[in-house]
Amino acid sequence: MKKLTLITILLAVYALTTKAQENTGETDNREKFLFGMKAGINRSNVYDSQGEEFKSDAKFGMAGGVFLEIPLGKYLGVQPEVLISQKGFQATGRVLGATYNFTRTTTYLDLPLQISLKPSEFITLVAGPQYSYLINQRDIFTNATTSIEQEQEFENDNIRKNIFGVIGGIDINLKHIVLGGRVGWDVLNNNGDGSSTTPRYKNVWYQATIGYKLYK
């Protein structure tokens, strides 16, 4: 988290320096409808919502997709996104005196719907809810003598089985290039019968991306 914050601050300083030398009237796209693509990495882990002891380590995964910038004036807008996002965790433990390693990689289709605050043409603050559903889950369990790998595909024909969360962050706009940083976490899981539950272990992730906006 500290590394991501430092990188974001450095990028912000660079953007401020660069934009201070430009004519803002030629680069201000805050009132334009924009389409873009982006890709990057997640650093994800899980947390125990019941407060019980659970030790895990973060792991890295890929993230990428498309986004829209829909203006609601010069300083406010809506930014929906469609992303393929890898999350999960890795852990080490002991069973019957033997040490084992466990890695879980989950691939989600993430659909964040963010409200965007645009104090200047080169900085956008975003926050909002996110709806996710699980596409694939891969588990690898290894110990001194064996290695077991299991992979499962999910059709998600009943979409109420999926997860809701929240996400927020910052975009730094350098003409067509956009540098993004996000933090997100799962909040609520809905069952197919309509009842709501709080899953014991939830995803939390930090995301860094670079994107390209299409506009004239």
User: What does each of the 216 residues of the chain score in pLDDT, given as a tens digit?
Assistant: 555 555 555 565 555 545 544 544 456 888 899 999 999 999 999 877 655 555 778 899 999 999 999 999 999 999 999 999 999 888 876 666 677 788 888 899 999 999 999 999 889 999 999 999 888 888 888 876 766 665 555 555 555 568 889 999 999 998 899 999 999 999 877 665 656 666 667 889 999 999 999 876
Q: What is the pLDDT, as a whole number, of residue 46?
A: 84
Cα within 13 Å of Cα(101), Cβ side: 10
Q: What is the pLDDT, as a whole number, of residue 101?
A: 81
Cβ atoms within 10 A of the Cβ of 69, count? 24
Q: What is the pLDDT, as a whole number, of residue 78?
A: 96
Q: What is the pLDDT, as a whole number, of residue 119?
A: 93
Q: What is the pLDDT, as a whole number, of residue 90?
A: 86
Neighbouring residues of 134: CB distance < 8 A, sequence distance ≥ 6:
106, 107, 108, 154, 156, 162, 163
Check if the beta carbon of residue 189 is closer than 8 Å to that of residue 199: yes
Check if the beta carbon of residue 88 is closer than 8 Å to that of residue 71: no
Q: Round to whole Å and give the CA distance between 215 and 148.
A: 49
Of the candidate CATH numbers 2.40.160.20, 1.20.120.1200, 1.10.287.70, 3.55.10.10, the domain formed by 2-214 belongs to 2.40.160.20
Tokens at 96, concatenated: 């019957």
